[in-house]
């Protein structure tokens, strides 16, 4: 009798665990498959150059082309004067019309570096990059470089982190902590804020007050530029890039605190740009995209947010800003997610995560 009672308790215990796991799994989307394509070494940025090949940067300095079908990897030589230091190295890369743009940590001498942007014609053997932008001043720091790149028409948008310097993000005479807007050849648009109503701003600056923005994307639905940003201890956010505006770092803390635990400032106050979604505690928001494709067509127009800290993919429905809806698609499955790309033809999703290239498709 005692043995039967013990067996019953054990059965109830395992049944409880089963339903707990079942309930937990139901809080995530389960209509997808994740497949590993190839191994990489600290991959950071990626861009499709055609329907079969994706070009990838590795933070340590290599640029590689991956055939997603054959899984063949080829390394491309380059001439970038980069420095692999702290969070810096080779960062984002973007391809359009047989041209490449790359953001990277440029070695400016004496351990000073900048978030810089260079352009080259696509060559699968050797890339001859030429600088079109340098974030000034160069700073001796291994922190908060940003940096993502987005093309909208003849404009190149780029995010430049504040290099751990805090209030430098409030100084529009310095590039760190801002969104940059230049033409594809590096020339400066004549309608940037400096030439309108911000005469003391540097001519390349589009928006200020940002800490460490590692997500930047163009929505093909409303034509707007959106970004994600790391807070400190809490205070990550997703929001829109707005011309001539200020997100408030380090006057605002966006709900977060300094790593020491001390308070930074209010989450938001009038006079500053308000984000669409905040995360406290931090998820370490990384690359983002506004999904458009066939594979997950029910997600069209929704934001996909990747994270480093909790290794998650999150979906935001934000067409009604008074009722933003968030769903965790998956978590702790492929490691720290650094980048996300949508296949230009079939809409399958590709991630750089956990030193690998992954593909996500419908199950």
269 token code pair: 């106050």
pLDDT per residue over 175-212, tens digit each? 999 999 999 999 999 999 999 999 999 999 999 999 99
Stretch among 8-12, 72-76, 206-210, 355-359 having the lowest mean pLDDT: 8-12
For the chain, domains (ranges, CATH) are 31-362 (2.120.10.30)
Mean pLDDT of the region 220-231: 96
Buried b (16+ CB within 10 A) or exposed e, 226-253: bbbbbbbbbbbbbbbbeebbbbbbbbbb
pLDDT at 27: 34
Mean pLDDT of the region 314-343: 97
Q: Among candidates 169, 117, 107, which has minimal Cα distance to 138?
A: 107
pLDDT at 73: 98
- 3-class state of residue 150 by DSSP: strand
Rounded-to-integer distance, Cα 236 and Cα 230, Å = 5
**0.75 exceeded by pTM:** yes
In this predicted structure, the answer to whether residue 339 has a pLDDT above a threshold of 60 is yes
Q: Among candidates 199, 201, 154, which has minimal Cα distance to 179?
A: 201
- 3-class state of residue 78 by DSSP: strand
In this predicted structure, the answer to whether residue 225 has a pLDDT above a threshold of 70 is yes
Rounded-to-integer distance, Cα 63 and Cα 46, Å = 10
pLDDT per residue over 132-174, tens digit each? 999 999 999 999 999 999 999 999 999 999 999 999 999 999 9
Helices (H), 27-107: none
Average pLDDT, the chain: 92
Mean pLDDT of the region 296-320: 97
pLDDT per residue over 1-23, tens digit each? 444 444 444 444 444 434 333 33
pLDDT at 121: 98
Rounded-to-integer distance, Cα 6 and Cα 12, Å = 10
pLDDT at 25: 32
pLDDT at 23: 35
Q: Are 350 and 313 in contact (CB under 8 A)?
A: no
244 token code pair: 């001539």
Q: Among candidates 85, 143, 235, 152, which has minimal Cα distance to 160?
A: 143
pLDDT at 107: 97
DSSP assignment of 300-347? TT-EEEEESSS-EEEEEE-SSTTS-EEEEEEESSSSSEEEEEE-TTT-
Rounded-to-integer distance, Cα 36 and Cα 350, Å = 10
Rounded-to-integer distance, Cα 138 and Cα 155, Å = 24
Q: Among candidates 310, 322, 248, which has minimal Cα distance to 284?
A: 310
Rounded-to-integer distance, Cα 160 and Cα 179, Å = 6
pLDDT at 306: 98
pLDDT per residue over 236-269, tens digit each? 999 999 999 999 999 999 999 999 999 999 999 9
In this predicted structure, the answer to whether residue 271 has a pLDDT above a threshold of 90 is yes
pLDDT at 24: 34
Q: Are 330 and 313 in contact (CB under 8 A)?
A: yes
Reported as half-sphere exposure (CB side, CA atoms, 13 A), residue 134 has a value of 15
Contacts of 309 (CB under 8 A, 6+ apart): 282, 283, 284, 336
In this predicted structure, the answer to whether residue 50 has a pLDDT above a threshold of 50 is yes
Mean pLDDT of the region 270-297: 97
Q: In what order do the strands lie in the sheet with 312-317?
A: 285-290, 303-307, 312-317, 325-331
pLDDT per residue over 103-130, tens digit each? 999 999 999 999 999 999 999 999 999 9
pLDDT at 2: 44
Angle at 270 between CA 215 and CA 324, to 5 degrees: 50
Neighbouring CB atoms inside 10 A of 198's CB total 16
312: left (phi over 0), alpha (psi -120 to 50) or beta: beta
Neighbouring CB atoms inside 10 A of 266's CB total 13
Task: Read off the pLDDT band of 52 (50, 70, 90).
Answer: very high
Mean pLDDT of the region 63-91: 97
């Amino acid at each position: 009798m005692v043995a039967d009672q013990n067996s019953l308790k054990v059965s109830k215990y395992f049944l409880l665990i089963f339903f707990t796991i079942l309930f937990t799994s139901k809080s995530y989307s389960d209509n997808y498959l994740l497949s590993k394509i190839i191994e990489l070494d600290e991959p950071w940025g990626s861009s499709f150059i055609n329907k079969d090949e994706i070009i990838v940067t590795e933070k340590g300095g290599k640029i590689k082309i991956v055939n997603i079908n054959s899984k063949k990897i080829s390394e491309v030589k380059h001439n970038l004067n980069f420095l692999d230091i702290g969070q810096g190295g080779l960062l984002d890369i973007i391809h359009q019309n047989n041209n490449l743009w790359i953001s990277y940590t440029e070695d400016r001498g004496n351990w000073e570096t900048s978030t810089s942007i260079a352009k080259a014609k696509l060559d699968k053997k050797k890339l001859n990059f030429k600088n079109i932008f340098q974030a000034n001043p160069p700073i001796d720091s291994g922190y908060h470089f940003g940096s993502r790149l987005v093309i909208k028409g003849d404009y190149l948008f780029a995010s430049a982190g504040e290099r751990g310097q805090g209030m430098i993000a409030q100084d529009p005479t310095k590039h760190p902590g801002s969104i940059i807007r230049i033409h594809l050849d590096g020339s400066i648009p004549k309608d940037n804020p400096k030439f309108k109503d911000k005469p003391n701003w540097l001519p390349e600056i589009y928006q200020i007050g940002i800490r460490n923005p590692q997500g930047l994307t163009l929505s093909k639905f409303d034509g707007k530029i959106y970004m994600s940003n790391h807070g400190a201890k809490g205070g990550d956010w997703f929001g829109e890039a707005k011309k001539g505006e200020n997100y408030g770092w380090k006057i605002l803390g966006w709900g977060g605190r300094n790593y020491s635990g001390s308070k930074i400032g209010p989450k938001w106050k009038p006079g500053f740009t308000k984000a669409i979604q905040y995360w406290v505690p931090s998820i370490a928001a990384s690359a983002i995209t506004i999904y458009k494709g066939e594979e997950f067509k029910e997600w069209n127009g929704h934001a996909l947010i990747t994270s480093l800290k909790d290794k998650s993919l999150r979906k935001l429905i934000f067409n009604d800003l008074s009722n933003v809806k968030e769903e965790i698609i998956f978590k702790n499955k492929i490691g720290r997610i650094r980048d996300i790309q949508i296949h230009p033809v079939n809409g399958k999703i590709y991630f750089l995560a956990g030193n690998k290239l992954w593909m996500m498709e419908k199950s």
